[in-house]
């Protein structure tokens, strides 16, 4: 809420009405027992109002940046990528996300982004086996490991 200063001239007397979030600060600047002359009091009040306006502009910029961070994270970008594009630290990104109620993605989410295994086989629905711990395994690689292991097992017995 913006502080407003209303000055009414009743002859030689001035009546001032203060409203808003920093009315107490303005009242202390404009206190009748102060040594400032009335023009200085007006300048001080305008300076306080201008300071609050710049704070509101900065708060709006930060709120806009926070919305961009949350939106970029929802699109799938990592915290470090967002930090680089917004010119803030990764800690700031994760702090903003935490305040928005978003926790860091689990390791499985990043693994699910892989489209192929280490050997280049596609990790599609037919070729992917989900382990009990949630890990995704390539069926072709598992078959090849089994075929390589079977002769060694047969030789031991």
Question: What residues pair up with 15 in beta bridges, in sequence order?
Answer: 8
3-state helix, strand, coil in the chain (%, to 5): 55, 15, 30
- Contact indicator for 65, 51 with CB cutoff of 8 Å: no
pTM over 0.95: no
Per DSSP, the three-state class of 20 is coil
Question: What angle (nearest 5°) sits at the alpha carbon of residue 103, between those of residues 102 and 106?
Answer: 130
Q: Give, for all 157 residues of the chain, the pLDDT tens digit.
A: 455 555 555 554 455 555 565 665 555 555 555 554 556 666 667 777 777 788 888 889 999 999 999 999 988 888 888 999 999 998 899 889 889 988 877 666 666 778 888 999 998 889 999 888 777 889 999 999 999 888 887 776 5
């Amino acid at each position: 809420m913006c502080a407003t200063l209303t000055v009414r001239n009743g002859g030689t007397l001035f009546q001032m009405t203060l409203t808003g979030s920093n009315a107490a600060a303005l009242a202390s600047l404009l206190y009748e027992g102060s040594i400032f002359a009335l023009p200085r009091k007006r300048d001080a009040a305008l300076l306080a109002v201008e300071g609050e306006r710049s704070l509101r502009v900065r708060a709006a910029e930060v709120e806009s940046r926070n919305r961009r961070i949350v939106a970029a994270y929802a699109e799938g970008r990592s915290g470090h990528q967002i930090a680089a594009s917004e010119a803030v630290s990764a800690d700031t990104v994760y702090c903003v996300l935490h305040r928005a109620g978003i926790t860091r993605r689990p390791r499985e989410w990043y693994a699910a982004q892989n489209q192929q295994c280490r050997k280049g086989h596609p990790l599609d629905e037919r070729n992917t086996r989900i382990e009990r711990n949630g890990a995704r395994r390539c069926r072709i690689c598992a078959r090849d490991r089994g075929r390589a292991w079977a002769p060694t097992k047969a030789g031991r017995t």
